[in-house]
Amino acid sequence: MNGLWDALMGLGDQLAAHVLLSAAAIALGIAVALPLAVWASRSEKVARAALTFASLVQTIPALALLALFFPILLSLRAVFGEWLPTLGFLPALLALALYALLPILRNAVTAQANLDPGVNEAAEGVGMSFRQRLLLVEAPLAAPYIMAGIRTAAVWTIGAATLATTIGQKSLGDPIFAGLQTQNWVLVLAGCIASASLALLADTLLGTIERGFRERRRVLVIGGLMTVALGVGGALFAQFGGGEDEDRVVIGAKGFSEQYILARLIGQRLEAEGFAVEYRDGLGSAVAHSAAASGEIDVYVDYTGTIWTNQMKREDTLARDEMYAAIEQWETENTGIKMLGRLGFENAYGLAMRQEVATSGQFESIADLAARGQAMTIGGDPEFFERPEWIAVRDAYGLRFAEKRNFSPTFMYNALQSGEADVIGAYTSDGRIEADRLVILKDPRGAFPNYDAVLLLSPEAGRDAALVDALTPLVDAIDVEAMREANYSVDREEDKLSFDEAARRLAERAGL
Amino acid sequence: MTAQDAPALSFRDVAKHYGDTRALEHVALEIPRGQFVALVGASGSGKSTLLKTVNRLIDPSAGEVLFEGEDVAALPLPALRRRIGYVFQSIGLFPHMSVAENIAIGPRLAGERLASSRIEELLRLVELDPDLAMRMPDALSGGQRQRVGVARALAADPHLLLMDEPFGALDPVTRDALGERVRALHEELGLTTVMVTHDMAEALLLADRVLVMDAGQIVADETPAALVAGKGGEVAQALVTVPRHQAQRLAELSR
């Protein structure tokens, strides 16, 4: 229980960010929904169109809605210019505000529609203007209903805001995704408890305001509003009261253990050199690369094969050094991203099986799998079957399976152990390969490209000599055994290390 | 004709069409100041429509309505409505405002504050306990609510009181008492009153003049006495027959 308490206490920063994001999204939702509701009350057509739109938005899964704002904002850069952020706060805010729209709008429209017609006639009869009718009659009578809508929106938004982690916005989703990654249930639980408590608190406060409106008790309304303002103000102070934000080095990490550890390793090194750092964890693969190109993040670790196939859309493979040179040239010409160098290990995709299965079925290479594996089930992470690497391997060997299943990277290994999958798309630097006694099938046709881990810097960060100097010692410093051990130290079931601790030990072992 | 001695209301060839439906047709009429006029007719005869053309809750398709010599279409809408008291069947008290706030709403819209002594006076006029001023409408009985409705209509000292089925939702005893009270207020305050009702007995007992409407037209314009004496034509007499018949049967019962 001590671990849980510590994990909860460590969430201050995420909590503040979560509060600000949710509050901003709800405020924006209100700012859009209320005028729309007033307009809708004057026009049946507008009412129908607005409600249909809001309901439609609601049917989009929150995660997808968040993800969609990345390409939308990216294309809007053509209009607004390069300063427009495509990751982090802005897309999260927009997506969540859209999500918050429906309950507020629906309740406001319903409240208007249910207004006693006698009251409307009286308002007209006593000579109220449009404005007076709105302010003196409609607003106060609709207020409790609108407040109930805001309350619902708040609970939804606070819950959905945990997903903002995936597009690089700090939130209480950080510990949830990080914990899910490494089966660190204490972290997951801490994130859930924190966001659920926040939702309950918001629900209670807004419920108090709603009751104040309903029972016409001004004390409740003002008290509730002031408490909400206090909370948001506190979060604002916690986020921005601590001084300059601009000079921080933003370190990106994709959503798996190795990335979290390497981000910490980089962060610890930079902090020791006197830099202030900030982490953007859990980014999608394509998102991370674009984020570095646009300067949303300053530094992160990627893999040559990933850039080769996903960003450069190459389907051939080259020898290791030639590939590295080609990528470096492509980045210089297309994104301005600076490749600082290889870290010294490879984290390739490979197809892994349990040793017993491989031995008994005499599976040695992917070709064997193509010949005798048609009845098997293959598991992969959610990206795997969409990736060009998989398609290349599949087509190179003519692979066919009975079933394809997606697992989060963590559960994939469990699935292999429990027999839910017979073969998985694994990562060669994963500590669980050794620990679980897995075999990586040989790739005689070289269909999987090379996956050297490389250190990438955004164009701006690449010009920062001090930063480059601080990071250069990492080049060629980490071998695959060291990386596997570090990965395993956070992935194993028992005696897990935190990312920070694993990064410290890795640095020590690598002599950094 | 100057505004001073213009009639309270003049309807000049007023018509209202909804598509092919003719709610009002060629209504021409003058109502002198101080008169208590009842508009009677079956549902759909156009009596409510005619009333609402006065405070422009309905705008006529043709013709004009003059209020004290001024074309209502030319007057600013909020100002016009604040000069005319309006009472209607569903009462329409604002549920989120106290009795006092409801009564004071008209002057408040014009930027004036109604003194609590005036609110007390208005409550007394409609025979309500001034202690009710701070109550919320949902704490009142139906009859009390409509009394507040009348007080609200009178708050801005209007010259003209429009009532659209004002007692329709009340029980007979309350209805009778409130009717008497409104008639008395009409005298005391020197009002011109136009009341829409489907109850001929109410019209005969309260009004100085009864207008009978049928299919959007005025088909009879008589004093109560003349109607009881059998004048006003077929439609009017059909309406008069009901209370007359009831009165006769009651008289027979008491023999």
> What residue in A sits closest to B52 (Cα-Cα)?
A125
Mean pLDDT of A22-37: 94
Average per-residue pLDDT for chain A = 89
pLDDT attached to residue A242: 58
Taking only the tens place, the pLDDT of each residue in A481-500 is: 899 999 999 888 788 888 89
Taking only the tens place, the pLDDT of each residue in A400-421 is: 998 989 888 778 888 888 888 9
- CA–centroid distance for A149 within its chain: 27
> What residue in A sits closest to B77 (Cα-Cα)?
A127
What are B's interface residues with A at a Cβ cutoff of 8 A?
55, 57, 77-82, 86, 88, 90-96, 105-106, 109, 152
Mean pLDDT of B14-34: 91
pLDDT band at B1; cut points 50, 70, 90? very low
Chain B hits for A213, CB-CB cut-off 8 Å, are none
DSSP β-ladder status, B160-164 and B84-88: parallel
Chain B hits for A136, CB-CB cut-off 8 Å, are 94, 105
* Domain with A140 in it: 2-240
Domain ranges of chain B: 34-43+77-253
Phi, psi of A102, rounded to the nearest 5 degrees: -60, -55
Chain B hits for A122, CB-CB cut-off 8 Å, are 88, 91-94
Query: CA-CA distance, A489 to A175, in Å (whole number)?
Result: 17
Interchain proximity B109–A137, CB inside 8 Å: no
Taking only the tens place, the pLDDT of each residue in A364-394 is: 999 999 998 889 999 998 878 887 788 888 9
pLDDT attached to residue A245: 54
> What residue in A sits closest to B101 (Cα-Cα)?
A136
Interchain proximity A125–B82, CB inside 8 Å: no
Chain A hits for B88, CB-CB cut-off 8 Å, are 118, 121-122, 125
pLDDT attached to residue B3: 58
Closest partner CB to B81 (pick from A127, A136, A216): A127
Chain B hits for A114, CB-CB cut-off 8 Å, are none
Chain A hits for B95, CB-CB cut-off 8 Å, are 116, 119, 141
Crossing angle (nearest 10°) for helices A173-182 and A185-214: 150
Question: What is residue B131's DSSP assignment?
Answer: G
So what's the ipTM on this one? 0.84
- CA–centroid distance for A394 within its chain: 29
Best mutation target, A126, A135, A213, to test chain B (most B CBs within 10 A) = A126
> What residue in B sits closest to A130 (Cα-Cα)?
B78
Helices (H), A60-184: 62-80, 89-113, 117-125, 130-132, 139-160, 173-182
Name the domain boundary from A440, A460, A493.
A440
pLDDT attached to residue A427: 85
Interchain proximity A127–B152, CB inside 8 Å: no
Say if residue A341 is in the same domain as residue A368: no
Q: Of A133, A122, A141, A140, which is closest to residue B81 (Cα–Cα)? A: A122
> What residue in B sits closest to A142 (Cα-Cα)?
B96
Name the domain boundary from A420, A440, A460.
A440
Query: CA-CA distance, A483 to A287, in Å (whole number)?
Result: 24
Query: Which amino acid appears at position A362 of this protein?
Result: Q
pLDDT attached to residue B255: 77
Q: Which residue has the tokens 């939130």?
A: A171
- CA–centroid distance for B3 within its chain: 23
Query: CA-CA distance, B115 to A310, in Å (whole number)?
Result: 77
Query: CA-CA distance, B166 to A254, in Å (whole number)?
Result: 72
Chain B hits for A121, CB-CB cut-off 8 Å, are 57, 88, 90, 92
Say if residue A273 is in the same domain as residue A232: no
User: What Cα–Cα distance (Å) separates residue A238 from each residue in A20, A157, A251, B53, B182?
Assistant: 10, 21, 20, 62, 66
Taking only the tens place, the pLDDT of each residue in B38-85 is: 999 988 899 999 999 999 999 999 999 999 999 999 999 888 988 899
Say if residue A48 is in the same domain as residue A94: yes
Interchain proximity A141–B95, CB inside 8 Å: yes
The whole-angstrom distance between B90's CA and the closest CA on chain A is 5
Closest partner CB to B57 (pick from A124, A137, A216): A124
DSSP β-ladder status, B192-197 and B36-41: parallel
The whole-angstrom distance between A217's CA and the closest CA on chain B is 11
Chain A hits for B93, CB-CB cut-off 8 Å, are 119, 122
What CATH number was assigned to the domain covering residues B34-43+77-253?
Answer: 3.40.50.300
Query: CA-CA distance, A305 to A328, in Å (whole number)?
Result: 12
Strands (E) located in B32-176: 36-41, 62-67, 70-71, 84-88, 160-164
Say if residue A383 is in the same domain as residue A340: no
User: What Cα–Cα distance (Å) separates residue B247 from each residue in A138, B104, B225, B242?
Assistant: 47, 42, 15, 9
A260: domain CATH number is 3.40.190.10
Position A19 in a domain:
yes
Closest partner CB to A119 (pick from B57, B81, B92): B92
Say if residue A271 is in the same domain as residue A192: no
Q: Which of A58-67, A156-165, A237-246 has the highest mean pLDDT?
A: A156-165
Say if residue A294 is in the same domain as residue A380: no
Position A247 in a domain:
no
Query: CA-CA distance, B11 to B26, in Å (whole number)?
Result: 9
Position A166 in a domain:
yes
Chain A hits for B80, CB-CB cut-off 8 Å, are 127
Q: How many domains does chain A have?
A: 3
Pair A497, A490: CB distance under 8 Å: yes
Position A11 in a domain:
yes
pLDDT band at A82; cut points 50, 70, 90? confident
Closest partner CB to A125 (pick from B55, B79, B95): B55
Say if residue A100 is in the same domain as residue A53: yes
Chain A hits for B55, CB-CB cut-off 8 Å, are 125
List of long-range contacts for B243-251, beta carbons under 8 Å, 24+ apart: B243/B200, B243/B201, B243/B204, B246/B201
- CA–centroid distance for A110 within its chain: 35
> What residue in A sits closest to B94 (Cα-Cα)?
A119
Taking only the tens place, the pLDDT of each residue in A328-370 is: 999 999 999 999 999 999 998 889 999 998 998 889 999 999 9
Q: Of A200, A206, A153, which is closest to residue A24 (Cα–Cα)? A: A153
Position A248 in a domain:
no
Say if residue A498 is in the same domain as residue A455: yes
**How many A/B residue pairs have CB atoms within 8 Å?**
61
pLDDT band at A453; cut points 50, 70, 90? very high
| Radius of gyration of chain A measured on its C-alpha atoms | 26
Name the domain boundary from A410, A440, A470.
A440
Reduced DSSP (H G I as helix, E B as strand, rest coil) percent helix, strand, coil of chain B, to 5: 40, 25, 35
pLDDT at position A432 over 50? yes
Percentage above 90 pLDDT, chain A: 45
The whole-angstrom distance between B159's CA and the closest CA on chain A is 14
Interchain proximity B95–A119, CB inside 8 Å: yes
Pair B193, B184: CB distance under 8 Å: no
- Joined tokens for residue A193: 């408890």
- This prediction has a pTM of 0.75
Query: CA-CA distance, A484 to A405, in Å (whole number)?
Result: 25
> What residue in B sits closest to A139 (Cα-Cα)?
B96
Chain B hits for A140, CB-CB cut-off 8 Å, are 96
Query: CA-CA distance, A417 to A426, in Å (whole number)?
Result: 13
pLDDT at position A285 over 80? no
Q: Of A331, A389, A291, A359, which is closest to residue A85 (Cα–Cα)? A: A291
Taking only the tens place, the pLDDT of each residue in B83-123 is: 899 998 888 899 999 999 999 998 898 888 989 999 999 99
The whole-angstrom distance between A122's CA and the closest CA on chain B is 5
Q: Taking the CB of residue A309, how many other CB atoms lie within 10 A of it?
A: 22
Residues contacting residue B242 through CB under 8 Å, at least 6 positions apart: B200, B201
Mean pLDDT of A108-123: 87
Say if residue A318 is in the same domain as residue A419: no
Percentage above 70 pLDDT, chain A: 98
pLDDT band at A1; cut points 50, 70, 90? low
Closest partner CB to A125 (pick from B79, B88, B96): B88
pLDDT at position B220 over 60? yes
Which sign does the torsion angle of CA A287, A290, A295, A299 carry?
Answer: positive
The whole-angstrom distance between A226's CA and the closest CA on chain B is 23
Query: CA-CA distance, B11 to B18, in Å (whole number)?
Result: 19
- Joined tokens for residue B138: 């949902």
A388: domain CATH number is 3.40.190.120
Query: CA-CA distance, A138 to A147, in Å (whole number)?
Result: 14
Residues contacting residue B22 through CB under 8 Å, at least 6 positions apart: B15, B16, B215, B216
- Joined tokens for residue B232: 């006003």
Q: Which residue has the tokens 């206090």?
A: A230
Chain B hits for A119, CB-CB cut-off 8 Å, are 92-95
Q: Mark B21-34 as b/e (b = at least 16 C-beta within 10 Å).
A: ebbbbebebebeee
pLDDT attached to residue B229: 92
A112: domain CATH number is 1.10.3720.10
